[in-house]
Amino acid sequence: MKKELLMGTALVSTLGAASVAEAVTATMSGNHQTGIEFDSPTSGTDTNAQINDNNFTVSLSETTDGGMTISSSFKVMDENTKEDYDAGFTLAFTDGSKLDVIAGGNAAGSHAVSIPGSAGAEGVTITTANSASTGLDFMTGSTALGVEYHTASDFFADGLKMSFSASTDNGANPGTTYKVDSHFALGATYVTDLGDTAVTIGAGYSETEGSIDGTSPTADANGVHMGVSAVTGDLTVAVGFADGDYITGDSANIEADAEVVKAGIKYVTGDLTFNLGVASGTAKDGAAGTAGTTEDSKDVTSASISYAVAAGVTAILGYTDVDSSNEGSNDTTDGSAWYIGANMSS
């Protein structure tokens, strides 16, 4: 309870430090994407279905007399949750730094380099027991009772920006499902020019502690990631690597020692954008308290062509192929998928 009171006191005192000059300003944005997906599993019947992704976000902000901007947002509709009110407050200071208060997130994940891949909404379903990941930030757990501080640009060196985050638990006793108790993380992004090429380097480290009633994991979630992106004119090339441990946090309480390698390219010519990406992930998983010994794997190749039909309207053709194995055995639910559709955004 003391931790929650301290968090609440800090928030109230920070927001009340300066009077707000005017009423809060609200802006709205969103997108509507719809299309058809064609699935071809390795073993089974080909299927097709309409895929929708609709999001509508309201952003709220205002600036105090002292120049600090206070902002928050909420998403009123999407295809999975229908509503999302989990955003906290962001305090942007006059020196260019920011502080996320409540649901601050994990600083390591904030600096994961974006790796190009298909812009389509296609996906290939593999066996749920496969714990291999293809994301660079798979180990970045946190809780809502947390903060994340973002430095201003050119922190200590030209082109350097960093973030630091920490969170604590909600005071409830752990049950049979893994519960995050606390986390600490840091991340950094460095941007520089090498001739005509703009280079971005991103890296992060995260360490999360958690518990399950009656069972101790062999290793808490932790890990590092690093990525490099280079942009020369209309061409973007990026690579990334991640290594660490994570726990699923669902009723299965699976813990996994995982690695991910990703690479991708993007090329823009006129109204056309071409994306190509590859990702390879491996994981040795086991039930909580039991280290895994046999490897799961997932190899993903994806590509897309996007065409700007009009301002805010983009037609998309995407393709993804997945080759996976679980506990060393080939996964018959992997395969490939096509997607054709369009996205309208504001």
**pLDDT single digits (tens) 262-285:** 999 999 999 999 999 999 999 998
Q: pTM for the full model?
A: 0.84
Spell out the domains of the chain, with CATH numbers in brackets. 2-345 (2.40.160.10)
State the distance between the two ends of the chain, measured CA to CA, in whole angstroms. Answer: 43
Q: What local confidence, expressed as pLDDT, does residue 84 receive? A: 63
**pLDDT single digits (tens) 159-210:** 999 999 999 988 788 777 788 889 999 999 999 999 999 999 999 999 998 8
The whole-angstrom separation of Cα 129 and Cα 260 is 18
If DSSP codes are grouped into helix, strand and coil, which group holds residue 93?
coil
The whole-angstrom separation of Cα 68 and Cα 320 is 45
State the DSSP string of 236-284. Answer: EEEEEEEEEEEE--STT-EEEEEEEEEEEEEEEETTEEEEEEEEEEEEE
| The pLDDT of residue 3 is above 80 | no
- What residues pair up with 106 in beta bridges, in sequence order? none
Contact 126, 324 (CB under 8 A): yes
Residue 175 tokens read as 């049950």
Residue 186 tokens read as 């840091």
Q: Smallest Cα–Cα separation from 227: which of 340, 116, 343?
A: 116
